[in-house]
Amino acid sequence: MTNLVEMIPYARFLGVAVERVDGAVQCVLPFREEIVGNQRLPAIHGGVLGAFLELTAFLRLLDESGSTDRIPRPINFSVDYLRSAGPAATTARAEIFKLGRRIANVHVVAWQQDQKRPVAYGNGKFLL
């Protein structure tokens, strides 16, 4: 899975690390100045959080299929911003809500220090 991140320039660009917790892929987005969207708070750029959620959903699906022969393609991705994400590492975990023959529906939650206080929630549909 780490090799996979190495293959995706955008994932490398964000510095995303992949780990496996309780059998499922979990991603970590380290904090750095370049991902700040609002300097006054400061808060991580909403677009970066959305991208990170989408990446996590994508990697979860790839891991599930166990093959890179067929790359899932996103149909759409929706992000709910629940609270502002401060200057700290962000973790995201995806669950495959429905794995159909052609379409997968994936839910993703991201949090910082406290898993019970999520910063963003994502839902994506992917063409398999």
Partner 1 sequence: MSSDKTATEKQYALASIFGPGRDELIDHTPHARHLGIRVVRTGPCEAVLKLPYRAELVGDPTRGVVFGGAITTLLDHASGLAAACAMETFQAIATVDLRVDYLRAAAPGLDLYGYVRCYKMTKNVAFIRGVAYEHDPEDPFASCQGTLMVGANPTASPFTRFNDEGTGETSG
- Which residues here bind partner 1, judged by CB under 8 A? 7-13, 33-41, 45-48, 50-52, 54-55, 71, 73-81, 84
Instruction: Rank residues 23 and 67 by Cβ distance to partner 1 and give the closer one.
Output: 67
Question: Cβ of residue 74: shortest distance to partner 1, in angstroms?
Answer: 5
Instruction: Rank residues 111 and 124 by Cβ distance to partner 1 and give the closer one.
Output: 124
Question: Cβ of residue 9: shortest distance to partner 1, in angstroms?
Answer: 4
**Closest CA relative to residue 27, chosen from 42, 14, 9, 43:** 14
Instruction: Rank residues 26 and 123 by Cβ distance to partner 1 and give the closer one.
Output: 123
State the Cα–Cα distance between residues 78 and 95, nearest whole angstrom. 15
The end-to-end CA distance of the chain, in Å, is: 19
Burial class (CB in 10 A: 0-12, 13-18, 19+), 24: middle
Question: Cβ of residue 22: shortest distance to partner 1, in angstroms?
Answer: 25
